[in-house]
Amino acid sequence: MRYLSIVFFSALLAVRAQASLPGYSQAANPLDFNLSVDRIQSLCRAAQTRAEERLQAVAAVSEPAFHNTFVPFSDILSDLQDETSVPSFLAQVAADKAVREQALACDTAISKYAVDVFSREDLYKILKAAANRGELLSGEDARLMEKTLLDFRRSGLALPQIQREQLKGLRKRIVELSNEFSQRISESKDFAVFPEAQMKGVPPDMKKRTAQPDGSYKVTLDYPDYFPFMENAQDPEARRILETKFDSRGGQENKKRLADILRFRDEAAKLLGYKDHAEFVLDEQMAQDPQTVDKFLSSLREKLVVKAKPELKAFVELKKKEEGPRSDGVIHAWDWRYYRNQLLKTRYGVDEEKIKEYFPTDLVVGEMLKIYQEVLGLRFTDVTATQPASWDPSVKIFEVEDGRTGVYIGRFFMDLYPREGKFKHAGAFPLIEGRELPDGSYQKPVAAIVANFDKPAPERASLLPHAEVETLFHEFGHVMHQLLTRAKYQRFSGTSVARDFVEMPSQMFQNWVWKDEVLGRVSGFAQDRSKKIPREMIQKLIAAKNAASGLEYLRQDFFAAYDMALHTSSSAMDTTALYARLMKDITLIPMTDGTVPESSFGHLMGYDAGYYGYLWSEVYACDAFSRFEKEGLLSPQVGRELRKEILEKGSARDEARSLRAFLGREPNPEAFLKNIGLATAAPKKP
């Protein structure tokens, strides 16, 4: 997501494409994704020029008040974002490398311009003068004034001029380096070539897809290749080769960029009077300070280790049984996915390769959309055939209406399969964010879900492992959060919430795929869609849900702890050595020698000092989902309340208040601990 504010610079540098045409408000207005390099360049320059002219007019207001300073300032930044976000999005999905590079240049330029905007003393003075009038504001108006002034203060406007310029320079350099870091990962094209002997255990469909004319197999680092290979390839040396490549995608170049970024972030935080970058970031989050995060992570870690150690022992026993005298008795980074899969097969009778045959992607997508419509009171219409071409022929387009009133809400795009140069993970991109326009109408949101699922071929359907069914529900939850907003200002729209709350709705929605009622609905055997996944297979899958949850959640705890360690240190460090030490200490599994995993840890450019938010918000997500479990798994009534109290509100009011309004009480961690297979004794709740 991208909001043109210094407060959100970390999020701004990650998943952040959102765009529209000026004044966009109706379904008939198309977005133009067919932009040339020259057109992208001219669009970005013109948008910045218009914004600058309008900002100068705000700075020159003779009688400043809320309506002629804060409101137009918000509108100007929102329009700038709207006018430049399609180019920014194309940096993630365009097929043409030249277009991706120019789109990234546009994104970088606009991000750096935002640094300039929030460093301008003339704008800060006029906004302070308006605030000093003491107008009686309430609700979103009062929140907009408060947050905008805070944005300027956090941009150094209270600093002397020399330090202010120093801070501005640091942040512009961070923008450049962060975009380069992310681009390096997205542009990675590395692969491994294996002979037949090293493909033993690999699923037949993957072997067919990766087969080369000379009898070898080309396995890329894209998710549809990497994960099935790591989970099924019996040859440990083959797994080691691929894992080494995967954890070296960013290379030494990104390691150097990361070191510079960390140094600049720390210097910027100290200029503003903060101890470190983590303290700066968390000052605006629900957790509030690094100490609270550390206590949360360490308390959870203590419980997870108790569960993880027997799981790791079971993995080692499986390894010894399979490798015999050759086994070193150690579960390596290239081993854990494989032996987790073996544990599921041997102890629980869960075979992911057989399970995915019941989850053809097109069927799962169709049934998932029906479930979201039912629960949230919506109506989706596939309009792909009647719309102008999007950025790729495989992309589907849907319009969204309220199920009761028929009122048009917005639209979303679905781009589900990998392409060269495309964003490598799964994510939801707000293309247009909802907001009230100057004429009183409401701008209709548009979003895109972008993923890298198994690509269909003429001779076979695309199939989803259960974990990717979960990913699909998760990311589409973000789309719903983005589309159903009713925030007055774009500053608070959709997923523009506290970073340690943004995952809450999406994590809540993913809980559905662990319920037999839902699994039955979204399944259908690839060769005969009328055949649903057998109930005994569902029961085994659910029984195995937490078979290795100790190790899996320790992995999340590690990523969060590593992120916090990077951003609470005031001295230079070897980021790889720190990664190796913490990975071994927390996950109980050693890092592979010769790799630089942090160089492809993309979340460090978007969730800096915020990766803990995945675990933190999951506590809230499980608690919220407990309402559906108690009142009806697919209850439209609970769904309507979710829309009203959380999805529509965005950050228009305090997130904790929205959560309490939906729950009808204070949140607690009991549902979370139960969900991940831990005892009911709880870590301190967020």
Q: Is 609 left (phi over 0), alpha (psi -120 to 50) or beta?
A: left
pLDDT of residue 424: 84
Once rounded to an integer, what is the mean pLDDT over residues 210-215? 96
Long-range CB contacts (within 8 A, 24+) of 669-674: 669/619, 669/623, 670/623, 671/622, 671/623, 671/625, 671/626, 672/618, 672/619, 672/621, 672/622, 672/623, 673/303, 674/622
List pLDDT tens digits, range 579-631: 999 999 999 999 999 999 999 999 999 899 999 999 999 999 999 999 999 99
Query: pLDDT band at residue 683, thresholds of 50, 70 and 90?
Result: very low
CB atoms within 10 A of CB 97: 11
Once rounded to an integer, what is the mean pLDDT over residues 626-640? 97
The verdict on pTM exceeding 0.75 is: yes
Task: Answer yes or no: is pLDDT of 686 > 50.
Answer: no
Once rounded to an integer, what is the mean pLDDT over residues 565-574? 92
Strands 442-443 and 427-432 turn out to be unpaired
Task: Answer yes or no: is pLDDT of 8 > 70.
Answer: no
Task: Answer yes or no: is pLDDT of 4 > 60.
Answer: no
Once rounded to an integer, what is the mean pLDDT over residues 154-160? 94
**Active-site residue list:** 475
CA distance 151 to 200: 56
Task: Answer yes or no: is pLDDT of 90 > 50.
Answer: yes
Once rounded to an integer, what is the mean pLDDT over residues 446-458? 94
Calculate the alpha carbon distances from 211 to 204, 206, 217, 294, 400 in Å. 10, 8, 5, 47, 41
Task: Answer yes or no: is pLDDT of 17 > 50.
Answer: no
Task: Answer yes or no: is pLDDT of 18 > 70.
Answer: no
Query: pLDDT band at residue 536, thresholds of 50, 70 and 90?
Result: very high
Percent of the chain having pLDDT more than 70? 95
CA distance 597 to 589: 14
Calculate the alpha carbon distances from 414 to 171, 410, 461 in Å. 33, 14, 17
Task: Answer yes or no: is pLDDT of 273 > 90.
Answer: yes
Task: Answer yes or no: is pLDDT of 480 > 50.
Answer: yes
Q: Are 476 and 509 in contact (CB under 8 A)?
A: yes
Once rounded to an integer, what is the mean pLDDT over residues 68-92? 95
Taking alpha carbons only, the member of 75, 179, 58, 191 closest to residue 128 is 58
Query: pLDDT band at residue 26, thresholds of 50, 70 and 90?
Result: very low
Once rounded to an integer, what is the mean pLDDT over residues 248-265? 97
Q: Are 230 and 334 in contact (CB under 8 A)?
A: yes
Long-range CB contacts (within 8 A, 24+) of 51-57: 51/76, 51/77, 51/79, 51/80, 51/113, 51/117, 55/117, 55/120, 55/123
Interacting residues of 241 by C-beta distance below 8 A, sequence separation 6+: 192, 194
pLDDT of residue 7: 38
> Which contiguous run of DSSP H or E holds residue 194?
strand 191-194
Structural domains of the chain in order of their starting residue, each with its CATH number: 6-156 (1.20.1050.40), 191-246 (no CATH), 361-499 (3.40.390.10)
Query: pLDDT band at residue 648, thresholds of 50, 70 and 90?
Result: very high
Tokens encoding 574: 């070897």
pLDDT of residue 606: 84
CA distance 415 to 446: 14
Once rounded to an integer, what is the mean pLDDT over residues 350-373? 96
Taking alpha carbons only, the member of 417, 411, 415, 416 closest to residue 431 is 411
Phi and psi of 331, rounded to 5°? -90, 115
Mapped onto helix, strand or coil, the DSSP state of residue 69 is coil
Phi and psi of 31, rounded to 5°? -100, 140
**How high is the mean pLDDT of the chain?**
93
Taking alpha carbons only, the member of 6, 44, 284, 14 closest to residue 171 is 6
Q: Find where tokens 């360690």 sit.
A: 565
CA distance 236 to 308: 22
Strands 408-415 and 446-450 turn out to be parallel
CA distance 417 to 233: 23
CA atoms within 13 A on the CB side of 619: 23
pLDDT of residue 680: 53
Query: pLDDT band at residue 572, thresholds of 50, 70 and 90?
Result: confident
